Structure 1
Amino acid sequence: MYGPDPQNKHPMAGFAQICFIKNTVSNPNIIIGDYTYYDDPEDSENFERNVLYHFPFVGDRLIIGKFCALARNVKFIMNGANHAMEGFSTYPFAIFANGWQTAELEEEPPHKGDTVIGNDVWIGYEAVIMPGIKVGDGAIIAAKAVVTNHVAPYTIVGGNPARPIRQRFKDEVVQALLTIAWWDWDIEKITRNLDKIAGADIEALKNCS
Protein backbone atom coordinates (compact mmCIF):
# COMPACT_ATOMS: atom_id res chain seq x y z
CA MET A 1 0.00 0.00 0.00
CA TYR A 2 1.28 3.44 -0.93
CA GLY A 3 -0.28 6.06 1.31
CA PRO A 4 -3.92 7.16 1.51
CA ASP A 5 -6.22 6.90 -1.47
CA PRO A 6 -6.22 10.36 -3.13
CA GLN A 7 -9.81 9.70 -4.25
CA ASN A 8 -10.99 9.33 -0.64
CA LYS A 9 -12.66 12.53 0.59
CA HIS A 10 -11.76 11.78 4.21
CA PRO A 11 -8.47 9.85 4.27
CA MET A 12 -8.28 9.64 8.08
CA ALA A 13 -10.87 7.11 9.16
CA GLY A 14 -13.47 8.58 11.50
CA PHE A 15 -12.03 12.11 11.22
CA ALA A 16 -14.10 14.15 8.79
CA GLN A 17 -12.29 17.37 9.76
CA ILE A 18 -9.66 16.59 7.13
CA CYS A 19 -10.75 16.47 3.50
CA PHE A 20 -8.90 15.85 0.25
CA ILE A 21 -10.78 18.67 -1.47
CA LYS A 22 -10.03 17.65 -5.04
CA ASN A 23 -12.89 15.21 -4.49
CA THR A 24 -15.46 17.79 -3.36
CA VAL A 25 -14.85 20.88 -5.50
CA SER A 26 -17.27 21.12 -8.42
CA ASN A 27 -16.36 24.53 -9.90
CA PRO A 28 -14.32 23.91 -13.07
CA ASN A 29 -12.36 27.11 -12.38
CA ILE A 30 -11.03 25.71 -9.10
CA ILE A 31 -8.27 23.18 -9.77
CA ILE A 32 -6.86 21.20 -6.84
CA GLY A 33 -3.92 18.78 -6.83
CA ASP A 34 -3.84 15.31 -5.31
CA TYR A 35 -3.39 14.99 -1.53
CA THR A 36 -4.11 18.67 -0.86
CA TYR A 37 -6.31 18.88 2.20
CA TYR A 38 -8.55 21.39 3.92
CA ASP A 39 -8.84 21.18 7.73
CA ASP A 40 -12.18 22.43 9.07
CA PRO A 41 -14.19 20.85 11.92
CA GLU A 42 -17.43 22.48 10.74
CA ASP A 43 -17.59 21.45 7.08
CA SER A 44 -14.34 20.40 5.48
CA GLU A 45 -16.07 19.30 2.27
CA ASN A 46 -17.39 22.78 1.51
CA PHE A 47 -14.08 24.41 0.69
CA GLU A 48 -15.65 26.41 -2.13
CA ARG A 49 -17.36 28.75 0.35
CA ASN A 50 -13.88 30.17 1.04
CA VAL A 51 -13.36 31.22 -2.58
CA LEU A 52 -15.02 34.62 -2.68
CA TYR A 53 -16.21 36.83 -5.58
CA HIS A 54 -15.47 34.02 -8.00
CA PHE A 55 -17.95 34.89 -10.72
CA PRO A 56 -18.07 32.68 -13.83
CA PHE A 57 -18.29 35.69 -16.17
CA VAL A 58 -14.92 36.94 -14.88
CA GLY A 59 -13.21 33.69 -15.87
CA ASP A 60 -10.31 33.64 -13.42
CA ARG A 61 -9.11 30.39 -11.90
CA LEU A 62 -7.87 29.27 -8.50
CA ILE A 63 -5.15 26.67 -8.99
CA ILE A 64 -3.71 24.84 -5.97
CA GLY A 65 -0.95 22.26 -6.32
CA LYS A 66 -0.35 18.89 -4.72
CA PHE A 67 0.36 18.12 -1.07
CA CYS A 68 -0.84 21.49 0.25
CA ALA A 69 -2.19 21.97 3.78
CA LEU A 70 -4.98 24.55 4.10
CA ALA A 71 -6.11 25.56 7.56
CA ARG A 72 -9.61 26.47 8.64
CA ASN A 73 -11.19 29.63 7.21
CA VAL A 74 -8.50 30.46 4.68
CA LYS A 75 -9.97 32.87 2.15
CA PHE A 76 -9.20 33.42 -1.51
CA ILE A 77 -10.43 36.77 -2.84
CA MET A 78 -10.92 36.51 -6.60
CA ASN A 79 -11.00 39.17 -9.32
CA GLY A 80 -14.75 39.64 -9.10
CA ALA A 81 -14.13 41.68 -5.95
CA ASN A 82 -12.31 44.41 -7.86
CA HIS A 83 -13.86 47.79 -8.71
CA ALA A 84 -12.68 50.37 -11.23
CA MET A 85 -10.87 53.20 -9.43
CA GLU A 86 -10.08 55.83 -12.07
CA GLY A 87 -13.38 57.68 -11.74
CA PHE A 88 -14.46 59.73 -8.74
CA SER A 89 -16.70 56.92 -7.46
CA THR A 90 -15.81 53.24 -7.17
CA TYR A 91 -19.50 52.25 -6.97
CA PRO A 92 -20.42 49.75 -9.74
CA PHE A 93 -23.49 51.61 -11.04
CA ALA A 94 -23.54 49.84 -14.42
CA ILE A 95 -24.12 46.32 -13.04
CA PHE A 96 -27.57 47.37 -11.81
CA ALA A 97 -28.77 48.49 -15.30
CA ASN A 98 -32.20 50.23 -15.33
CA GLY A 99 -30.68 53.33 -16.84
CA TRP A 100 -27.43 53.10 -14.87
CA GLN A 101 -25.60 51.09 -17.52
CA THR A 102 -24.67 54.41 -19.13
CA ALA A 103 -22.23 54.83 -16.26
CA GLU A 104 -19.81 52.41 -17.95
CA LEU A 105 -16.28 53.79 -17.79
CA GLU A 106 -13.51 53.27 -20.28
CA GLU A 107 -11.57 51.48 -17.57
CA GLU A 108 -12.60 47.94 -16.63
CA PRO A 109 -12.19 46.74 -13.05
CA PRO A 110 -8.65 45.41 -12.50
CA HIS A 111 -8.11 41.78 -13.50
CA LYS A 112 -4.93 40.36 -12.03
CA GLY A 113 -5.16 36.90 -13.55
CA ASP A 114 -5.36 33.47 -11.97
CA THR A 115 -4.47 32.83 -8.36
CA VAL A 116 -1.87 30.05 -8.30
CA ILE A 117 -0.68 28.20 -5.20
CA GLY A 118 2.30 25.91 -5.71
CA ASN A 119 2.95 22.45 -4.31
CA ASP A 120 3.68 21.57 -0.67
CA VAL A 121 2.40 24.96 0.52
CA TRP A 122 1.07 25.43 4.07
CA ILE A 123 -1.54 28.18 4.48
CA GLY A 124 -2.36 29.01 8.09
CA TYR A 125 -5.60 29.76 9.92
CA GLU A 126 -7.71 32.59 8.46
CA ALA A 127 -5.06 33.70 5.98
CA VAL A 128 -6.39 35.78 3.08
CA ILE A 129 -4.96 35.53 -0.44
CA MET A 130 -5.77 38.46 -2.72
CA PRO A 131 -6.57 38.22 -6.47
CA GLY A 132 -3.90 37.07 -8.90
CA ILE A 133 -1.35 36.12 -6.24
CA LYS A 134 1.27 33.49 -7.06
CA VAL A 135 2.61 31.46 -4.12
CA GLY A 136 5.71 29.41 -4.83
CA ASP A 137 6.32 25.75 -3.98
CA GLY A 138 7.17 25.04 -0.36
CA ALA A 139 6.04 28.44 0.94
CA ILE A 140 4.36 28.98 4.32
CA ILE A 141 1.64 31.59 4.87
CA ALA A 142 1.26 32.50 8.54
CA ALA A 143 -2.10 32.51 10.31
CA LYS A 144 -4.20 35.63 9.57
CA ALA A 145 -1.73 36.91 6.99
CA VAL A 146 -3.14 39.05 4.19
CA VAL A 147 -1.15 38.22 1.08
CA THR A 148 -1.08 41.12 -1.38
CA ASN A 149 2.18 40.29 -3.21
CA HIS A 150 3.60 37.16 -4.80
CA VAL A 151 5.39 34.77 -2.45
CA ALA A 152 8.71 33.23 -3.48
CA PRO A 153 9.24 29.46 -3.16
CA TYR A 154 10.20 28.18 0.27
CA THR A 155 9.56 31.55 1.89
CA ILE A 156 7.61 32.22 5.09
CA VAL A 157 5.39 35.30 5.06
CA GLY A 158 3.14 36.83 7.70
CA GLY A 159 1.34 40.00 8.73
CA ASN A 160 -1.08 42.47 7.13
CA PRO A 161 0.02 43.11 4.48
CA ALA A 162 2.14 39.97 4.48
CA ARG A 163 5.90 40.47 4.39
CA PRO A 164 8.70 37.90 4.07
CA ILE A 165 9.83 36.62 7.45
CA ARG A 166 12.60 34.38 6.18
CA GLN A 167 13.54 31.97 3.44
CA ARG A 168 13.32 28.42 4.75
CA PHE A 169 16.57 27.17 3.18
CA LYS A 170 19.66 28.52 1.46
CA ASP A 171 19.33 29.56 -2.19
CA GLU A 172 21.15 26.51 -3.52
CA VAL A 173 18.92 24.18 -1.50
CA VAL A 174 15.77 25.92 -2.71
CA GLN A 175 16.93 25.61 -6.31
CA ALA A 176 17.69 21.91 -5.81
CA LEU A 177 14.26 21.31 -4.28
CA LEU A 178 12.55 23.02 -7.21
CA THR A 179 14.57 20.90 -9.62
CA ILE A 180 13.83 17.67 -7.75
CA ALA A 181 10.10 18.49 -7.49
CA TRP A 182 9.41 15.41 -5.37
CA TRP A 183 5.65 16.07 -5.51
CA ASP A 184 5.72 15.00 -9.16
CA TRP A 185 7.25 11.60 -8.38
CA ASP A 186 4.99 8.56 -8.59
CA ILE A 187 3.46 7.70 -5.25
CA GLU A 188 5.53 4.52 -4.88
CA LYS A 189 8.75 6.54 -5.06
CA ILE A 190 7.39 9.14 -2.65
CA THR A 191 6.45 6.40 -0.18
CA ARG A 192 9.88 4.76 -0.42
CA ASN A 193 11.57 8.06 0.35
CA LEU A 194 9.36 9.68 2.97
CA ASP A 195 12.25 9.96 5.43
CA LYS A 196 14.26 11.96 2.85
CA ILE A 197 11.30 14.19 1.91
CA ALA A 198 10.49 14.93 5.56
CA GLY A 199 14.16 15.30 6.44
CA ALA A 200 16.58 18.13 5.71
CA ASP A 201 19.46 16.39 3.91
CA ILE A 202 19.38 17.68 0.33
CA GLU A 203 22.08 15.27 -0.88
CA ALA A 204 20.06 12.33 0.39
CA LEU A 205 16.98 13.65 -1.41
CA LYS A 206 18.95 14.08 -4.63
CA ASN A 207 19.96 10.42 -4.47
CA CYS A 208 16.48 8.99 -4.03
CA SER A 209 15.53 6.18 -6.34
Structure 2
Amino acid sequence: MPGPFADPNTVNPVLLPDGSAHAGTVFLKPVLDHPRIEVGEYSYASAHHPPDDWAAHLAPYLYPTSPETLRIGRFCQIASGVQFITASANHRHDGISSFPFMIFGGDDPMSRPSMPKPGRDTIIGNDVWIGTGATVLPGAEIGNGVIIGAGAVVSGRVPSYSVVAGNPARVLRFRFDAETIARLERLAWWEWPIETILSAEAEICGGDVDALERRAPRVG
Protein backbone atom coordinates (compact mmCIF):
# COMPACT_ATOMS: atom_id res chain seq x y z
CA MET A 1 0.00 0.00 0.00
CA PRO A 2 1.34 3.50 -0.80
CA GLY A 3 2.10 5.81 2.07
CA PRO A 4 0.02 8.91 2.86
CA PHE A 5 -0.04 11.67 0.30
CA ALA A 6 1.66 14.92 1.29
CA ASP A 7 -0.48 17.44 3.12
CA PRO A 8 -0.89 20.65 1.05
CA ASN A 9 0.44 22.69 3.98
CA THR A 10 3.74 20.81 4.01
CA VAL A 11 6.64 23.09 3.11
CA ASN A 12 8.95 20.37 1.72
CA PRO A 13 6.69 17.56 0.48
CA VAL A 14 9.31 15.40 -1.27
CA LEU A 15 11.14 12.88 0.90
CA LEU A 16 14.57 11.52 -0.06
CA PRO A 17 15.47 7.83 0.36
CA ASP A 18 17.05 8.56 3.75
CA GLY A 19 13.79 10.08 4.96
CA SER A 20 14.99 13.68 4.91
CA ALA A 21 13.03 16.39 3.11
CA HIS A 22 14.21 17.72 -0.25
CA ALA A 23 14.84 21.40 0.50
CA GLY A 24 14.71 22.40 -3.15
CA THR A 25 11.05 21.49 -3.66
CA VAL A 26 8.24 23.34 -1.87
CA PHE A 27 4.49 23.47 -1.93
CA LEU A 28 3.96 27.15 -2.67
CA LYS A 29 0.86 27.82 -0.60
CA PRO A 30 2.59 27.50 2.80
CA VAL A 31 5.75 29.41 1.77
CA LEU A 32 4.25 32.39 -0.05
CA ASP A 33 3.25 35.14 2.36
CA HIS A 34 2.74 37.96 -0.12
CA PRO A 35 -0.34 40.18 -0.36
CA ARG A 36 -0.30 40.21 -4.18
CA ILE A 37 0.16 36.47 -4.81
CA GLU A 38 -2.61 33.87 -4.77
CA VAL A 39 -1.72 30.19 -5.20
CA GLY A 40 -3.74 27.00 -5.09
CA GLU A 41 -3.05 23.86 -3.10
CA TYR A 42 -0.49 21.31 -4.31
CA SER A 43 1.22 23.71 -6.72
CA TYR A 44 4.95 23.36 -6.21
CA ALA A 45 8.21 24.97 -7.27
CA SER A 46 11.75 23.62 -7.41
CA ALA A 47 15.12 25.34 -7.22
CA HIS A 48 18.66 23.95 -7.43
CA HIS A 49 19.63 26.52 -4.80
CA PRO A 50 16.60 27.04 -2.55
CA PRO A 51 15.97 30.73 -1.80
CA ASP A 52 15.13 32.21 1.56
CA ASP A 53 12.28 34.17 -0.03
CA TRP A 54 10.32 32.18 -2.61
CA ALA A 55 8.08 35.12 -3.50
CA ALA A 56 11.03 37.34 -4.43
CA HIS A 57 12.69 34.40 -6.20
CA LEU A 58 9.68 33.70 -8.43
CA ALA A 59 8.28 37.22 -8.89
CA PRO A 60 11.08 39.71 -8.14
CA TYR A 61 9.17 42.78 -9.39
CA LEU A 62 5.93 42.11 -7.55
CA TYR A 63 5.92 44.38 -4.51
CA PRO A 64 3.48 44.45 -1.59
CA THR A 65 2.18 47.78 -2.92
CA SER A 66 1.93 46.66 -6.56
CA PRO A 67 -1.49 47.19 -8.16
CA GLU A 68 -1.39 43.87 -10.01
CA THR A 69 -1.55 40.31 -8.72
CA LEU A 70 0.00 36.97 -9.63
CA ARG A 71 -2.54 34.16 -9.49
CA ILE A 72 -1.47 30.51 -9.75
CA GLY A 73 -3.96 27.63 -9.79
CA ARG A 74 -3.81 24.18 -8.21
CA PHE A 75 -1.42 21.36 -9.08
CA CYS A 76 0.98 23.56 -11.05
CA GLN A 77 4.57 22.41 -11.53
CA ILE A 78 7.20 25.17 -11.65
CA ALA A 79 10.75 24.14 -12.51
CA SER A 80 14.01 25.70 -11.37
CA GLY A 81 14.81 29.11 -12.84
CA VAL A 82 11.25 30.10 -13.73
CA GLN A 83 10.43 33.78 -13.24
CA PHE A 84 7.21 35.73 -13.41
CA ILE A 85 7.94 39.26 -14.63
CA THR A 86 4.84 41.07 -13.41
CA ALA A 87 3.51 44.45 -14.52
CA SER A 88 5.36 46.49 -11.89
CA ALA A 89 8.54 45.75 -13.85
CA ASN A 90 7.22 47.76 -16.79
CA HIS A 91 8.55 51.09 -18.00
CA ARG A 92 6.41 53.55 -19.87
CA HIS A 93 7.15 53.01 -23.56
CA ASP A 94 4.43 54.91 -25.39
CA GLY A 95 6.45 58.11 -25.70
CA ILE A 96 9.97 59.16 -26.67
CA SER A 97 11.89 57.68 -23.73
CA SER A 98 11.32 54.64 -21.52
CA PHE A 99 13.61 55.96 -18.75
CA PRO A 100 12.00 55.62 -15.27
CA PHE A 101 12.75 59.12 -13.94
CA MET A 102 10.30 58.60 -11.06
CA ILE A 103 12.42 56.04 -9.21
CA PHE A 104 15.44 58.32 -8.77
CA GLY A 105 13.99 60.93 -6.43
CA GLY A 106 11.79 63.98 -6.53
CA ASP A 107 8.05 64.05 -6.00
CA ASP A 108 5.72 61.14 -5.27
CA PRO A 109 6.59 58.54 -7.93
CA MET A 110 2.92 57.79 -8.54
CA SER A 111 2.34 61.37 -9.72
CA ARG A 112 5.27 61.49 -12.13
CA PRO A 113 4.77 61.46 -15.93
CA SER A 114 7.28 58.61 -16.27
CA MET A 115 5.17 56.26 -14.10
CA PRO A 116 3.43 53.69 -16.33
CA LYS A 117 -0.24 52.93 -15.81
CA PRO A 118 -1.07 49.81 -13.78
CA GLY A 119 -0.80 46.62 -15.80
CA ARG A 120 -2.89 43.47 -15.96
CA ASP A 121 -2.75 40.61 -13.50
CA THR A 122 -0.70 37.55 -14.43
CA ILE A 123 -2.86 34.42 -14.31
CA ILE A 124 -1.69 30.81 -14.36
CA GLY A 125 -4.36 28.13 -14.67
CA ASN A 126 -4.47 24.71 -13.02
CA ASP A 127 -2.18 21.76 -13.80
CA VAL A 128 0.30 23.95 -15.70
CA TRP A 129 3.85 22.65 -16.15
CA ILE A 130 6.40 25.45 -16.59
CA GLY A 131 9.80 24.18 -17.74
CA THR A 132 13.25 25.12 -16.53
CA GLY A 133 14.25 28.75 -17.03
CA ALA A 134 10.98 29.88 -18.59
CA THR A 135 9.93 33.52 -18.24
CA VAL A 136 6.30 34.57 -17.97
CA LEU A 137 5.82 38.21 -18.98
CA PRO A 138 3.45 40.80 -17.49
CA GLY A 139 -0.25 40.16 -17.94
CA ALA A 140 0.09 36.66 -19.38
CA GLU A 141 -3.01 34.47 -19.04
CA ILE A 142 -2.12 30.79 -19.19
CA GLY A 143 -4.94 28.28 -19.47
CA ASN A 144 -5.40 24.96 -17.72
CA GLY A 145 -3.22 21.98 -18.58
CA VAL A 146 -0.64 24.03 -20.51
CA ILE A 147 2.94 22.78 -20.92
CA ILE A 148 5.58 25.51 -21.29
CA GLY A 149 8.95 24.46 -22.69
CA ALA A 150 12.28 25.16 -21.01
CA GLY A 151 13.56 28.67 -21.66
CA ALA A 152 10.31 29.87 -23.22
CA VAL A 153 9.34 33.54 -23.00
CA VAL A 154 5.58 33.64 -22.65
CA SER A 155 3.19 36.55 -23.11
CA GLY A 156 -0.45 37.10 -23.92
CA ARG A 157 -3.15 34.46 -23.71
CA VAL A 158 -2.13 30.82 -23.91
CA PRO A 159 -5.02 28.44 -24.65
CA SER A 160 -5.74 25.52 -22.36
CA TYR A 161 -4.01 22.20 -23.05
CA SER A 162 -1.54 23.69 -25.50
CA VAL A 163 2.20 23.08 -25.64
CA VAL A 164 4.22 26.26 -26.10
CA ALA A 165 7.95 26.90 -26.51
CA GLY A 166 10.42 29.41 -27.89
CA ASN A 167 11.17 33.13 -27.64
CA PRO A 168 8.63 34.49 -28.18
CA ALA A 169 6.69 31.41 -27.15
CA ARG A 170 4.27 30.01 -29.71
CA VAL A 171 1.82 27.16 -29.68
CA LEU A 172 3.49 24.06 -31.05
CA ARG A 173 0.46 21.82 -30.75
CA PHE A 174 -2.57 21.03 -28.66
CA ARG A 175 -2.49 18.05 -26.36
CA PHE A 176 -6.05 17.04 -27.26
CA ASP A 177 -8.71 17.91 -29.82
CA ALA A 178 -11.14 20.75 -29.12
CA GLU A 179 -13.98 18.48 -27.97
CA THR A 180 -11.74 16.64 -25.51
CA ILE A 181 -10.33 19.91 -24.15
CA ALA A 182 -13.88 21.15 -23.52
CA ARG A 183 -14.69 17.92 -21.66
CA LEU A 184 -11.55 18.24 -19.52
CA GLU A 185 -12.33 21.85 -18.69
CA ARG A 186 -15.81 20.80 -17.55
CA LEU A 187 -14.40 17.95 -15.46
CA ALA A 188 -11.93 20.29 -13.69
CA TRP A 189 -10.39 17.32 -11.86
CA TRP A 190 -8.11 19.67 -9.89
CA GLU A 191 -11.14 20.80 -7.90
CA TRP A 192 -12.08 17.30 -6.78
CA PRO A 193 -11.41 16.10 -3.22
CA ILE A 194 -7.85 14.85 -2.95
CA GLU A 195 -9.03 11.32 -2.10
CA THR A 196 -11.00 11.19 -5.37
CA ILE A 197 -8.05 12.59 -7.31
CA LEU A 198 -5.70 9.94 -5.90
CA SER A 199 -8.14 7.15 -6.67
CA ALA A 200 -8.29 8.42 -10.26
CA GLU A 201 -4.53 8.83 -10.68
CA ALA A 202 -4.36 6.30 -13.52
CA GLU A 203 -7.14 8.04 -15.43
CA ILE A 204 -5.82 11.56 -14.80
CA CYS A 205 -2.31 10.62 -15.95
CA GLY A 206 -3.62 8.51 -18.81
CA GLY A 207 -5.59 9.43 -21.89
CA ASP A 208 -9.00 7.84 -21.35
CA VAL A 209 -11.38 10.75 -20.82
CA ASP A 210 -14.41 8.45 -20.73
CA ALA A 211 -12.87 6.62 -17.77
CA LEU A 212 -12.06 9.91 -16.06
CA GLU A 213 -15.65 11.10 -16.47
CA ARG A 214 -16.84 7.91 -14.76
CA ARG A 215 -14.58 8.80 -11.81
CA ALA A 216 -16.03 12.30 -11.43
CA PRO A 217 -17.79 13.00 -8.13
CA ARG A 218 -21.56 12.92 -8.40
CA VAL A 219 -23.38 16.06 -7.37
CA GLY A 220 -26.79 15.77 -5.70
2 CA distance for matches of 1:36 and 1:19? Answer: 9
Candidates 143, 150, 153, aligned match of 2:160: 153
Equivalent residue, structure 1, for 2:79: 71
How many pairs are equivalent?
Answer: 207
| Cα displacement (A) at 1:89 | 1.4
Taking a change above 3 Å as real, the CA distance of residues 108 and 95 of structure 1, as seen in their structure-2 partners, is: closer
Pick one of 47, 52, 55 that aligns with 2:63.
55
Deviation at 1:46, TM superposition (A): 3.5
- AA aligned opposite 1:125: T
The 2-side partners of 1:76 and 1:149 are apart by 13
Deviation at 1:40, TM superposition (A): 1.3
Q: Which has the higher relative contact order, 1 or 2, with Cα contacts under 8 A spaced 6 or more apart?
A: 1
- How far off its partner does 1:80 sit? 1.1
**Pairing partner for 2:104 from 72, 79, 96:** 96
Deviation >6 Å, runs of 4+: none
Is 2:18 aligned against 1:11?
Answer: no
Q: TM-score, structure 1 length as denominator?
A: 0.91
Once residues 100 and 35 of structure 1 are traced to their aligned partners in structure 2, the CA distance between those partners, rounded to angstroms, is 40
Deviation at 1:74, TM superposition (A): 0.2
2:151 corresponding residue in structure 1:
144
1:175 is aligned to 182
In structure 1, what is the equivalent of residue 210 of structure 2? 203
**Which residues of structure 2 form unaligned runs of 5+?**
none
Deviation at 1:55, TM superposition (A): 2.5
Assess, with a 3 A threshold, how the Cα gap between structure 1 residues 85 and 181 changes in structure 2: closer, same or farther: same
C-alpha distance in 1 between matches for 2:183 and 2:51 = 34
3-state SS of paired residue (1:153): coil
Question: What percent of counterpart residues are identical?
Answer: 38
Pairing 1:194–2:201 present: yes
